[in-house]
Structure 1
Amino acid sequence: EVGIEVPVVVRLEGTRAAEGRQLLDESGLNLHSASDLGDAAEKIVSIIGANS
């Protein structure tokens, strides 16, 4: 196991990206999936704002 202390935003793209996003979202880990770089940036800003 890896102990990740900070939230991680992961951008997935490709044939099975939707399945990968679903697995990440349901994993219970502090991982947030994004569909593109704009979505990833928005999620990062949201996470930082929530943790401030």
Structure 2
Amino acid sequence: MKAEVGKISGVTAVDVDLVTGKVTVTANEPVGEALVRDAVEEAGYELTSA
């Protein structure tokens, strides 16, 4: 999932907490929720909230 989300323009870091399922995205510009959702789903996961 890190690789897919990390491909989004402006994303500088992706942190995944496997215990909680929380993903933290750091970016140097605004990143749309739809882009993150698409990347997460491409990786085979589901985004439940943003």
**TM-score, normalised via structure 1 length:** 0.30
Higher-strand-fraction structure: 2
Higher-helix-fraction structure: 1
**TM-score, normalised via structure 2 length:** 0.31
Greater CA radius of gyration, 1 or 2? 1
